[in-house]
Structure 1
Amino acid sequence: MTTTPPAALAAYTPDVAAVGNSLTASALLGLVPLAAFFLLLMAAKRPALQSALGALLTALLVAVLGYGMPVQLGALSAAQGLLFGLFPVMLIVVAAIWFYELTVVSGRFEDLRRSFSAVGRADLRVQAMLIAFCFGGLLEALAGFGAPVAITAAMLMALGLPKLRAAVTVLVANTAPVAFGAMAIPITTAGNLTGIPAEEIAAVVGRQSPLLALFVPVLLLFIVDGRRGVRQLWPIALVTGAVFAVAQFWCSAHFAYELTDVVAALAGFAAAVLMLRFWAPRTPDDQRSQVEAEPLTTRQVVLAVLPYVLVIAIFGLAKLRVGALDLPRLLGALNVEVPWPGLYGNLLAPDGSPAGSAVYKAEILGNPGTLLIVSGLLVMLVYGRARDADRYPMTARMGLSAAIRTVTNMRTAIATVATVLSLSYVMNQSGQTVAIGTWLAAVGGVFALLSPVLGWLGTAVTGSDTSANALFATLQQTAGRSAGIDPTLLVAANTSGGVVGKLVSPQNLTIAATAVEEPGSERILLRKVAGYSVALLAVLCVLVYLQSLPVLGWMLP
């Protein structure tokens, strides 16, 4: 008895004019999955996971029925995107949050929180600025996913700040760090999707978002205490913002871009502490903090900060090249590149060669998630052997429990991000994204002015700069190539635009309203922060447009 071998999959080459031989018709049909996602999320008020699944199904139907992509290749593209969403994207995020959870379960996080609350010589305005901006930036670097808003809002209320004012303060503060949040996962995602080295995207973002960081602390003082707060405290706000911005710029381009927010937050806070040794704010009676922080010993402060110093050291070591010692090369020895079975060789580039996007690439040892796990294990070891371990216990069982709890609590977020990446892969590999990008590029160089708006929209709706890049990074790249604009600039602009979109995302507004014990106040908060979001977006749009021209082109690396 003989068996007939399975028929080979039909080859497929994406075509930007697949629908009726028309670019416009193809692009408009390609927009349908994105419209489905936004309508399900906003109009139908479905959860993000359900909305992403609906959009994924829509994208598959558009790919097969509209663009002529074989069903099997569409399903294989979705599977490749799903795996990429799980590893490396969500591995990095989960590892970062686990690392943060270790500091919480050990009790050291409370000491870190008290360290930030104690600075400012009892001036509520200075403390609010440092907590919302620097401490919130540190939390965004690791925890992300709304944790900075929830934790810092509660801290500001404890200082005596009115509830809604505390919520607005932390929402505005949670802008500048977002591009590099959760170990810069938005930038890593964009790099993997576009093929542009993430380091190059980070370097350009590091020449955009620091402009926001420079002025956000002054804006926070205005929110907390109006013009009086700005008039009395602008020196420390300017120093904090300037040091934060310089550290963001330097780290994004010259160190480990994944650690940009960690380095910037610690540097900004250290600069403020140093300045307060020589400069005392004029504090009106109505702006004195209501909380007297219990003094901390030097040892407590050092051990509270130690995890962040360790993670900087580990990432820095992983980048070390000295003489014959090339650690990045050694760590890359186990990297894998797997042609996706059934997809590679059947998904073709315009020249007929196998599409490079059908190759799944995974960094194993040098992956930020792996480095975070190593850092976390070292933290557990140091904390477990500390002299005061009886007061701050840390055991292997506690670390394992924290890991299990992190994965359990994030299971919906993991599924959502993985589904959004599936959606992006189907749209990219079927040609939908390229068609939309080519169509939008018809506006020419003006597209650079509009580029950040896409990132703003994506983050405002999804609540995630990572999701915004998953949806639009490849589109930005295509539009840039077609319009003659540096694609790296536009991909970075998408990331930076998402920074200010986070300010008005329903997810963040709900977290803020819940954190200040004012559920249902989302509309009030939206009215209070919308103006800031639009104004900051306008600044970014003009900046990116000028960076696309010789006027500010010199800013780019």
Structure 2
Amino acid sequence: MIWKQVIDPFHNLTLSVLVAAIPILFIFWALIIKKMKGYQASLIATGLALLIAVFVYGMPLKLAFLSVTHGALYGLFPICWLVVMAVFLFNVTVKSGQFEVIKHVMAGITADRRLQALLIAFSFGSFLEGTAGFGAPVAITAAMLVGLGFNPLYASGICLIANTAPVAFGSIGIPITVASQVSGIPEMPISQMVGRTLPMLSLVLPFYLVSIIAGARKAWEIGPAVLVSGVSFAVLQFLSSNFLGPALPDVIAGLGSIISLIVFLRFWKPKTIWRFANEPAPTLIADQTSYSTGQIIRAWSPFLVLTVIIIMWGLQPVKNGLNAVGLVQFEVPGLHNAIQGADGTNLAKLFKLNYLSAAGTAILLAALIAIPLVGLTYREGAAVFRATLSQLKFPILTIAAVLGFAYIMNDSGITLTLATMLAGTGVLFPFFAPVLGWLGVFITGSDTSANALFSKIQYATAQSIGIDPVVTVAANVSGGVVGKMISPQSIAVAAAAGNLVGQESQLFRFTVKHSFILLVIICFLTLAQAYLVEWIIPGY
């Protein structure tokens, strides 16, 4: 038996939209007003969506449960598989003590607070977002800056703002992987489209950050260094996202901008060393310890190995070879072709277990190689892995629940109802497309989750108004990055790292105006991409 999706179950679009929006409005209420934990809000929202799908949209109960299960399975693999392995690799580096070497080397390059902010908050934060993600970059970089003597509010605030540049490609590109899976657009064109939007933001962000810290005049004083930081990052982000895919832009751009700025500072120094007025004494002083080149390379070795393996894994011949021996793909029983879309086509429901070619497997291999390189035994590595699983048990549940929620919203037709309403904005929809991603990240704290929630809406709405869906799906990804700095989860992480617990409202006020400013910029960029510079849209 085949069930056909319904778009307007009440034959009154306004009423249908109000009911369809209930699960999303619940998430707003649960996280913002009720301050409910993420996994609790996601599970209840999934239950609400399931009830609406069955009793309002007429979706058979069996199909509804299978849809949620399909989404949860995808949440576990490849998403949680990747997240667990990324955090595991990072934890191995911390446990071995090698991350302390990295921190001290980063802190000892310059005494100027403006340049330290560029190196640590912007470039190093991007590198961490690409490898670990999941809140680690803001927590680590904010703690480092406070340790160096930064004002805690500025340390936490600028780390949140700096984190906008890399979020779309975080955790080895998982936000774009999810956007691809939910929307049906291949990963590469989404990566290319995002990579033709965010580099414009990355280009100006270093100047923007230094202006926040010290004012525009002091930012111009280090203009050459700001230019090197922004241009190197933006160029590498553009090239890697357009030619390598979504897995490595943060790693390559972050490392590249660090190296470029360090080399530049060997030949150029600011006229004056700028520091905060009445700043606290530094507790993290790098130049007390001198590290050899060998020690520095050893400390960075897990991430160097990761970069090499991820590049290999991205090569099509390697991917094809791994899939030839390590791929299990099957039709989801009872769900495959059992739902007819509004356009009359049956929806294919496949589950792909590419356990060898998955990015998470590449990270696992990097971690296994790195364990002896950083001086740990495999027994100690196993203990770190167990601790990582314990650390991530609630995030894993949250991701599974959010993907289950996204799948039932999409399969039941609820997202199509909302898309029909959004299509009413007509030619202006591309301007508002990034706002959906911004809201999604504000709600969930994750660009990955926001893409799971809204990528299908973006796709369907773009099709209905006759523009290329990759523009609006990519806008969801790009808009989401500037919602990260004001999401309650990110604020909590940054406050904890910057010793600002209890002062979260101050931190929110510090970042919120910058979030709106950057969002408006991305909205105008998306509108231009849709109508004025259509040549920028990748073919696929």
TM-score normalised to structure 1 length:
0.92
Aligned twin of 1:390: none
Aligned twin of 2:108: 118
Aligned mate of 2:49, from 23, 36, 59: 59
Aligned twin of 1:46: 36
1:224 shift after superposition? 2.2
Aligned mate of 2:309, from 278, 294, 314: 314
Aligned twin of 2:19: 29
The answer to whether the Cα contact below 8 Å between 2:371 and 2:377 also exists between their aligned partners in 1 is yes
Query: What is the identity, as a one-letter code, of the residue corresponding to 1:553?
Result: E
Aligned twin of 1:127: 116
Q: Secondary structure at the match of 1:548?
A: helix
Aligned twin of 1:183: 172
Aligned mate of 1:376, from 349, 352, 367: 367
Greater Rg over alpha carbons, structure: 1
Q: Secondary structure at the match of 1:517?
A: coil
The answer to whether the Cα contact below 8 Å between 1:478 and 1:487 also exists between their aligned partners in 2 is yes
The answer to whether the Cα contact below 8 Å between 1:445 and 1:485 also exists between their aligned partners in 2 is no
1:84 equivalent to 2:74? Answer yes
Aligned twin of 1:140: 129
1:490 equivalent to 2:472? Answer yes
The answer to whether the Cα contact below 8 Å between 1:256 and 1:316 also exists between their aligned partners in 2 is no
The answer to whether the Cα contact below 8 Å between 1:187 and 1:202 also exists between their aligned partners in 2 is yes
Pair 1:57–1:292, CA change in 2 (3 A): closer
In structure 1, distance between residues paired with 2:452 and 2:61: 22
TM-score normalised to structure 2 length:
0.95
1:85 shift after superposition? 0.5
1:286 shift after superposition? 4.2
Query: After the TM superposition, which of the residue ranges 532-541 and 345-354 deviates more from structure 2?
Result: 345-354
Q: Secondary structure at the match of 1:519?
A: coil
The answer to whether the Cα contact below 8 Å between 1:256 and 1:315 also exists between their aligned partners in 2 is no
Q: Secondary structure at the match of 1:451?
A: helix
1:230-245 counterparts in 2 under 5 A?
A: 230-245=219-234
Q: Secondary structure at the match of 2:165?
A: coil
The answer to whether the Cα contact below 8 Å between 1:445 and 1:484 also exists between their aligned partners in 2 is no
In structure 1, distance between residues paired with 2:344 and 2:474: 30
In structure 2, distance between residues paired with 1:118 and 1:55: 47
Q: Secondary structure at the match of 1:252?
A: helix
1:425 shift after superposition? 0.6
Aligned twin of 1:440: 422
1:290-439 counterparts in 2 under 5 A?
A: 290=282, 291-293=285-287, 294-320=289-315, 326-333=317-324, 334-350=326-342, 354-356=346-348, 358-383=349-374, 393-439=375-421
Aligned mate of 2:503, from 518, 521, 534: 521
Aligned mate of 1:174, from 153, 160, 163: 163
In structure 2, distance between residues paired with 1:343 and 1:221: 53
In structure 2, distance between residues paired with 1:304 and 1:292: 15
1:352 shift after superposition? 5.7
1:15 equivalent to 2:6? Answer yes
Aligned twin of 2:482: 500
Pair 1:271–1:284, CA change in 2 (3 A): closer
Aligned mate of 1:543, from 510, 520, 525: 525
Query: What is the identity, as a one-letter code, of the residue corresponding to 2:474?
Result: A
The answer to whether the Cα contact below 8 Å between 1:245 and 1:264 also exists between their aligned partners in 2 is yes
In structure 1, runs of 5+ residues without a counterpart are 1-9, 384-392
1:214 shift after superposition? 1.0
Query: After the TM superposition, which of the residue ranges 276-285 and 497-506 deviates more from structure 2?
Result: 276-285
In structure 1, distance between residues paired with 2:495 and 2:135: 12
1:100 equivalent to 2:95? Answer no
1:232 shift after superposition? 1.3
Percent sequence identity is 40
The answer to whether the Cα contact below 8 Å between 2:298 and 2:373 also exists between their aligned partners in 1 is no
1:556 shift after superposition? 2.6
Deviations 1:99-128 (A, max 9, x none): 1111111111111112211212x2222112
The answer to whether the Cα contact below 8 Å between 2:104 and 2:286 also exists between their aligned partners in 1 is no
Pair 1:521–1:23, CA change in 2 (3 A): same
What RMSD, in angstroms, separates the aligned Cα atoms of the two structures?
Answer: 1.7
In structure 2, distance between residues paired with 1:340 and 1:530: 43
Deviations 1:128-154 (A, max 9, x none): 221111111111112222211111111
In structure 2, distance between residues paired with 1:461 and 1:319: 32
In structure 2, distance between residues paired with 1:140 and 1:317: 20
The answer to whether the Cα contact below 8 Å between 2:113 and 2:275 also exists between their aligned partners in 1 is no
Q: Secondary structure at the match of 1:243?
A: helix
In structure 1, distance between residues paired with 2:314 and 2:70: 29
1:264 shift after superposition? 0.6
In structure 1, distance between residues paired with 2:31 and 2:519: 23
Q: Secondary structure at the match of 2:329?
A: strand
In structure 2, distance between residues paired with 1:505 and 1:467: 13
In structure 2, distance between residues paired with 1:473 and 1:351: 18
In structure 1, distance between residues paired with 2:357 and 2:194: 22
The answer to whether the Cα contact below 8 Å between 1:218 and 1:237 also exists between their aligned partners in 2 is yes
Aligned mate of 1:150, from 125, 139, 154: 139
Q: Secondary structure at the match of 2:369?
A: helix
Q: Secondary structure at the match of 1:200?
A: helix
Aligned twin of 1:7: none
1:421 shift after superposition? 0.5
Aligned twin of 1:5: none
Q: Secondary structure at the match of 2:502?
A: coil
1:197-236 counterparts in 2 under 5 A?
A: 197-236=186-225
Q: Secondary structure at the match of 2:215?
A: helix
Q: Secondary structure at the match of 1:343?
A: coil
Query: What is the identity, as a one-letter code, of the residue corresponding to 2:113?
Result: L
Aligned twin of 1:481: 463
The answer to whether the Cα contact below 8 Å between 1:64 and 1:70 also exists between their aligned partners in 2 is yes
Q: Secondary structure at the match of 1:258?
A: coil
The answer to whether the Cα contact below 8 Å between 2:101 and 2:296 also exists between their aligned partners in 1 is yes
In structure 2, distance between residues paired with 1:439 and 1:285: 52
1:464 shift after superposition? 0.6
Q: Secondary structure at the match of 2:247?
A: helix
Alignment length (residue pairs): 531
Pair 1:476–1:467, CA change in 2 (3 A): same
Deviations 1:348-393 (A, max 9, x none): 345765411x22223221110011111111112433xxxxxxxxx3
Pair 1:205–1:375, CA change in 2 (3 A): same
Q: Secondary structure at the match of 2:520?
A: helix
Query: What is the identity, as a one-letter code, of the residue corresponding to 1:214?
Result: L
In structure 2, distance between residues paired with 1:351 and 1:127: 54
In structure 2, distance between residues paired with 1:468 and 1:319: 25
